[in-house]
């Protein structure tokens, strides 16, 4: 006897099935809500952002939150403008994720809504190079170039590829422009006459723009074997030497491509924000950090290259070593990431970062927006690497067809009924019915286009889809309590509870692995030495008000028999004051014990215990 054949029809999972799959178990990345509905209840409130006064308040009723956890928790989200990508996924994850995060925040809303809560347990960093008030962290890409010459060349070339991505059209000059940038950057880092604090992109820009000397003349001087400095490495010399003897027309084309790439750095705000580094992207696994990359869409032309370099360096460092025991995961949320331009090799790295404890989530308005930057093949690789695909509606017909095909098909049975009434009294009357089975999409493209604005579709790899509810943070009671809190100094405690069911342990700052003797003029050495000791400290130890300067030698204890400084005479000890203070402490202790005895008069056992404490306090004070 055979069992019932399992249906292969596409269908939406129910709440019980989601629970059986472990999707309702708290922990990991939050992906949405199953069951329940979004309703509006009476209650006046002022809408954030627009400032409009509303008299009906949205509220989520019923349902369960959905989570995915494990090594493979990357995601891909499609949603048209104002569909709630930030309010239903990015902001909730920033309020629920217990470890480090990196957020591409295009309007600054995510920072304002979540930084206050995350500051309770995480070191909050806002990198906004074009901020009008200069309120930003600083990031110098050259600080993270390896000191080792064998690795340094690779790091410099990675920066060059991020600044000069391969264009769609004429890419003839790009490879040579990258080489010229790499050679100039390597020369700046190796030059002992340039102070360590001046080894930044601003100095590289000054050389490229011919601030002190025309670039062509400078190249001829550097390439002259008779004038070659001993500190110039073979990589720097061979890279720059060929440009010194290059034909003028060819050199002009290369120089034009390079000048266009570094032109955004001419802005004084960006130069200040990239002149030094105030945080270490390599420490995000060791320390709980929240990095917000804040920009506006009109600033993308100037800020995009900076963010490109940061993301390429971050992904490169995170993919070098596997996650170790005790290290933190880093959740990367990239909203409208295609606006930054093409991240060379970023898609390839992002597809494998999940195995290193770095889940990446990509948010886009449509598939076409990715195809314009990364081509269709690049988009397909990105989508295939995501465990979860979430759709918050689709306006583009291509997106509607893609989602409809992804959801699959189900059987649909149609019944045709024909009724014969007969012409004469003796004709046979009756009805005939025919059944036809046809396959139809679980949701047609037109149904996806008219989907309710409170609904979303969640498709997990190797699972049936889920017709969920968009979990807007402002309609969620739990998340509303955490959102829009004021930034405040972290507490001094070493553990903080309060995000879901997680407990956060702030790691103790260990001794610096780099000694003072190793801090030399090699580029980045000073920052590398300081970052391991200073930047690894938890937020509670980085507050400036907790540091108090002591006079030199204040923490030194004289050795026995050592003569003190004759210029510093200490007064004779005042024994009378010490005895008076001891008597006052004893009297205070007696009063406290009497209060305890009065409170516990009805309990002989506690009264005896209080007397015992009084005796111990008396003996302790008598020793003074």
Q: Cα 319 to chain center, whole Å?
A: 15
In this model, does residue 123 exceed pLDDT 50? yes
- On whether both 304 and 243 belong to a single domain, the answer is no
Dihedral angle, C-alpha 478, 484, 488, 491, nearest 10 °: 10
CB-CB contact of 99 with 383 (8 Å): no
Mind listing the pLDDT tens digit for each residue in 217-264? Answer: 999 999 988 878 889 999 999 999 999 999 999 999 899 889 888 887
pTM for this prediction: 0.77
Q: What are the CA-CA distances from residue 166 to residues 113, 251, 305, 405, 558 (Å)? A: 36, 19, 13, 32, 66
- On whether both 292 and 261 belong to a single domain, the answer is no
Q: Quote the pLDDT of residue 180.
A: 96
Domain-located, residue 172: yes
Dist CA 284 CA 287 (whole Å): 5
Q: How confident is the model at residue 343 (pLDDT cuts 50, 70, 90)?
A: confident
- On whether both 147 and 254 belong to a single domain, the answer is yes
- Name the region of 500 (left: φ>0; alpha: ψ -120 to 50; beta: rest): left
Q: Quote the pLDDT of residue 56.
A: 87
- On whether both 223 and 202 belong to a single domain, the answer is yes
Cα angle 31, 33, 39; round to 5? 135
Domain-located, residue 185: yes
Q: What are the CA-CA distances from residue 37 to residues 15, 405, 460 (Å)? A: 13, 26, 21
Q: How confident is the model at residue 197 (pLDDT cuts 50, 70, 90)?
A: very high
Domain-located, residue 551: no
- On whether both 78 and 174 belong to a single domain, the answer is no
Dist CA 149 CA 546 (whole Å): 39
Burial of 263 (0-12, 13-18, 19+ CB in 10 A): middle
- On whether both 293 and 358 belong to a single domain, the answer is yes
Domain-located, residue 58: yes
Q: 38 - beta bridge partners?
A: 60
CB-CB contact of 285 with 319 (8 Å): no
Residues 442-452, mean pLDDT to the nearest whole number = 94
Residues 5-10, mean pLDDT to the nearest whole number = 74
Percent residues over pLDDT 70 in the chain: 74
Domain-located, residue 278: no
Tokens representing residue 529 in the block: 């030495």
Residue 92: name the closest of 499, 455, 487 by CA: 499
Q: What are the CA-CA distances from residue 243 to residues 203, 250, 258 (Å)? A: 20, 9, 13
CATH number at residue 102: 3.40.50
Q: Quote the pLDDT of residue 515.
A: 40
Residues 570-578, mean pLDDT to the nearest whole number = 51
Dist CA 89 CA 458 (whole Å): 12
- On whether both 40 and 106 belong to a single domain, the answer is yes
Q: Quote the pLDDT of residue 364.
A: 94
Element holding 143 (H helix, E strand): none
Q: What is the DSSP string of 167-221?
A: PSS--TTHHHHHHHHHHHHHHHHH-TTS-GGG-SHHHHHHHHTTSSS-HHHHHHH
Cα angle 53, 55, 58; round to 5? 105
- Name the region of 22 (left: φ>0; alpha: ψ -120 to 50; beta: rest): left
Domain encompassing residue 588: 580-622
> Domain ends where: 482, 505, 528?
505
Lowest mean pLDDT among 20-34, 399-413, 459-473, 548-562: 548-562
Percent residues over pLDDT 90 in the chain: 50
Lowest mean pLDDT among 119-133, 289-303, 578-592: 578-592
CB-CB contact of 286 with 357 (8 Å): no
Residues 482-504, mean pLDDT to the nearest whole number = 55
Q: Quote the pLDDT of residue 504.
A: 35
Mind listing the pLDDT tens digit for each residue in 412-434? Answer: 877 777 666 665 655 566 667 77
Q: Quote the pLDDT of residue 48.
A: 72
Indicate the length of the chain as a whole number: 624
Dist CA 166 CA 174 (whole Å): 7
Number of domains in the chain: 3
Q: What is the DSSP string of 274-294?
A: TSS-SS-GGGTTTS-EEEEEE
Dist CA 30 CA 96 (whole Å): 8
In this model, does residue 575 exceed pLDDT 80? no
- On whether both 60 and 148 belong to a single domain, the answer is no
Residue 104: name the closest of 274, 290, 294 by CA: 294
Domain-located, residue 410: no
CB-CB contact of 166 with 342 (8 Å): yes
In this model, does residue 485 exceed pLDDT 90? yes
In this model, does residue 451 exceed pLDDT 70? yes
> Domain ends where: 209, 241, 271?
271
> Domain ends where: 242, 271, 300?
271
- On whether both 94 and 181 belong to a single domain, the answer is no
- On whether both 145 and 121 belong to a single domain, the answer is no
Domain-located, residue 438: no
Residues 167-186, mean pLDDT to the nearest whole number = 86
- On whether both 481 and 379 belong to a single domain, the answer is yes
Q: How confident is the model at residue 498 (pLDDT cuts 50, 70, 90)?
A: very low
Domain-located, residue 187: yes
Burial of 294 (0-12, 13-18, 19+ CB in 10 A): buried
Burial of 562 (0-12, 13-18, 19+ CB in 10 A): exposed
Residues 295-310, mean pLDDT to the nearest whole number = 88
Residue showing tokens 């869409």: 297
Dist CA 147 CA 264 (whole Å): 27
- On whether both 337 and 254 belong to a single domain, the answer is no
Q: What is the mean pLDDT of the chain?
A: 81
Dist CA 34 CA 156 (whole Å): 47
CB-CB contact of 55 with 44 (8 Å): yes
Lowest mean pLDDT among 22-36, 145-159, 513-527, 569-583: 513-527
């Amino acid at each position: 006897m055979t069992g019932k054949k399992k249906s292969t029809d596409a269908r939406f999972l129910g709440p019980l099935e989601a629970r059986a799959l472990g999707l309702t178990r708290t922990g990991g990345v939050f992906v949405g809500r199953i069951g329940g509905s979004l309703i509006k209840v009476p209650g006046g409130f002022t809408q954030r952002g627009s400032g409009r006064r509303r008299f009906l308040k949205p509220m989520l009723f019923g349902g369960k939150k959905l989570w995915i956890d494990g090594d493979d928790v990357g995601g891909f989200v499609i949603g048209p403008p104002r569909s709630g990508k930030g309010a239903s996924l990015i902001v909730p994850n920033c309020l629920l994720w217990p470890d480090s995060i990196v957020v591409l925040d295009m309007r600054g809303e995510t920072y304002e809504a979540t930084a206050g809560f995350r500051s309770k347990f995480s070191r909050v960093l806002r990198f906004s190079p074009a901020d009008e008030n200069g309120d930003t962290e600083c990031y110098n890409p050259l600080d993270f170039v390896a000191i080792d010459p064998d690795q340094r060349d690779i790091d410099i070339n990675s920066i060059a590829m991020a600044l000069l991505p391969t264009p769609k059209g004429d890419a003839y000059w790009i490879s040579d422009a990258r080489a010229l940038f790499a050679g100039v950057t390597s020369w700046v880092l190796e030059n002992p006459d340039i102070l360590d604090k001046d080894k930044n992109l601003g100095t590289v820009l000054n050389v490229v723009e011919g601030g002190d000397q025309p670039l062509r003349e400078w190249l001829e001087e550097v390439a002259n074997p008779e004038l070659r400095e001993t500190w110039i490495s073979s990589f720097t010399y061979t890279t720059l030497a060929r440009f010194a003897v290059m034909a003028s027309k060819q050199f002009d084309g290369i120089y034009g491509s390079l000048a266009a790439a570094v032109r955004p750095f001419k802005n004084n705000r960006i130069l200040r924000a990239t002149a030094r580094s105030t945080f270490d992207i390599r420490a995000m696994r060791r320390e709980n950090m929240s990095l917000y990359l804040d920009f506006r869409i009109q600033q993308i032309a100037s800020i995009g290259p900076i963010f490109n370099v940061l993301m390429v360096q971050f992904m490169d460092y995170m993919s070098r070593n596997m996650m170790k025991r005790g290290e933190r995961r880093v959740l990367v949320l990239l909203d409208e990431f295609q606006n930054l331009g093409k991240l060379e090799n970023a898609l390839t790295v992002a597809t494998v970062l999940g195995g290193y404890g770095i889940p990446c989530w990509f948010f886009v308005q449509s598939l076409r927006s990715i195809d314009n930057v990364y081509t269709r093949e690049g988009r397909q690789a990105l989508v295939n690497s995501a465990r979860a695909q979430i759709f918050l509606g689709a306006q583009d017909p291509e997106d509607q067809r893609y989602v409809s095909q992804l959801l699959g098909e189900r059987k649909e049975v149609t019944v045709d009924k024909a009724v014969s009434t007969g012409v004469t009294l003796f004709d046979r009357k009756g009805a005939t019915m025919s059944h036809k089975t046809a396959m139809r999409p679980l949701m047609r493209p037109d149904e996806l286009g008219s989907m309710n604005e409170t609904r979303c579709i969640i498709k997990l790899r190797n699972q049936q889809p889920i017709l969920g509810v968009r979990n807007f943070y402002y309609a969620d009671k739990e998340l509303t309590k955490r959102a829009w809190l004021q930034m405040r100094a972290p507490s001094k405690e070493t553990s903080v509870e309060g995000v879901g069911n997680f407990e956060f342990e702030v790691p103790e700052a260990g001794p610096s692995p780099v000694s003072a003797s190793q801090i030399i003029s090699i580029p980045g050495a000073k920052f590398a030495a300081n970052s391991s000791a200073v930047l690894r400290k938890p937020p509670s130890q980085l507050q400036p008000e907790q540091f108090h300067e002591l006079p030199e030698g204040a923490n030194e204890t004289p050795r026995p028999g050592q003569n003190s400084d004759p210029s510093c005479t200490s007064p004779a000890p005042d024994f009378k004051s010490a005895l008076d203070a001891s008597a006052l402490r004893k009297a205070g202790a007696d009063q406290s014990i009497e209060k305890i005895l009065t409170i516990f008069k009805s309990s002989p056992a506690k009264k005896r215990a209080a007397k015992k404490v009084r005796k111990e306090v008396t003996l302790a004070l008598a020793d003074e």
